[in-house]
């Protein structure tokens, strides 16, 4: 049976209705009706057009009887990343971040490296703070020659690289639980 993602569902019924469906059925298998009717519970929850669109995409076209509705684990991971990035920008140490998120210092260090790698924060060479948020999330900063020597190298230890995946997630190395 195909495991669906929130992107799959949202492409069919839109973001708002996907969030409604997730609020009621998140983390569960949802049995889809064999034929769409106006008195079905999904029609009352989402509206008849959205329920018919779900039926058409997943029952008629994909042949599914049940639909997996994921929880909002990814949203919570991104919230934690944003809070940690702001803590680093505000001058908090790796130790402070580890205490705040109740994780090891090595996991907090992995998070700091991940935030830098993904372009969420960068070293502030000119300002009073050690880090600053970047406005270009997802892009890598091109360093000048003098900055290269000031930038700490990343870890080559695979165990350390995998340490923060479950708590904060890692878009480059997704959790095996997120596979289809």
pLDDT digits (tens, 9 = 90+) for 155-165: 444 444 444 44
Query: What are the CA-CA distances from residue 20 to residues 16, 68, 69, 160 (Å)?
Result: 6, 14, 11, 38
Average pLDDT on 117-141 reads 66
Q: Residue 48: its pLDDT value, please?
A: 93
Residue 12 banded pLDDT, cuts 50, 70, 90? very high
Work out the mean pLDDT of the chain and round it to a whole number.
77
Q: Residue 128: its pLDDT value, please?
A: 56
Q: What proportion of the chain, given as a percentage, has pLDDT over 70? A: 69
Average pLDDT on 51-69 reads 90
Q: Report which of 1, 17, 9 is spatially closest to residue 69, judged by C-alpha positions.
A: 9
Q: Residue 124: its pLDDT value, please?
A: 67
Helix or strand holding residue 122 (H, E):
strand 121-123
Higher pLDDT: 34 or 141? It is 34
The whole model's pTM is what? 0.52
| DSSP codes joined into one string, 69-108 | E--SHHHHHHHHHHHHHHHHHTT--HHHHHHHHT--HHHH
- Ordered by where they begin, the domains of the chain are 6-71 (no CATH), 75-170 (1.10.10.10)
Q: Residue 110: its pLDDT value, please?
A: 94
> Worst-scoring range by mean pLDDT, 36-40, 56-60, 110-114, 151-155?
151-155
Residue 27 pLDDT more than 70?
Answer: yes
């Amino acid at each position: 049976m195909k495991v669906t993602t929130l992107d799959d569902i949202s492409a069919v019924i839109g973001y708002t209705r996907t969030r409604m469906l997730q609020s009621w059925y998140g983390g569960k298998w949802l049995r889809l009706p064999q034929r769409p009717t106006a008195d079905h519970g999904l029609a009352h929850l989402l509206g008849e057009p959205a329920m018919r669109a779900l039926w058409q995409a997943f029952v008629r076209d994909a042949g599914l009887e049940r639909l997996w509705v994921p929880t909002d684990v990814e949203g919570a991971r991104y919230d934690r990343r944003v809070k940690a990035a702001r803590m680093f920008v505000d001058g908090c140490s790796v130790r402070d971040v580890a205490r705040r998120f109740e994780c090891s210092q090595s996991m907090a260090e992995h998070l700091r490296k991940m935030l830098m790698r993904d372009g969420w924060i960068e070293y502030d060479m000119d300002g009073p703070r050690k880090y600053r948020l970047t406005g270009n999330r997802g892009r890598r900063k091109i360093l000048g020659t003098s900055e290269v020597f000031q930038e700490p190298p990343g870890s080559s230890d695979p165990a350390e690289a995998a340490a923060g995946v479950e708590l904060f997630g890692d878009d480059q190395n997704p959790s095996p639980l997120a596979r289809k």
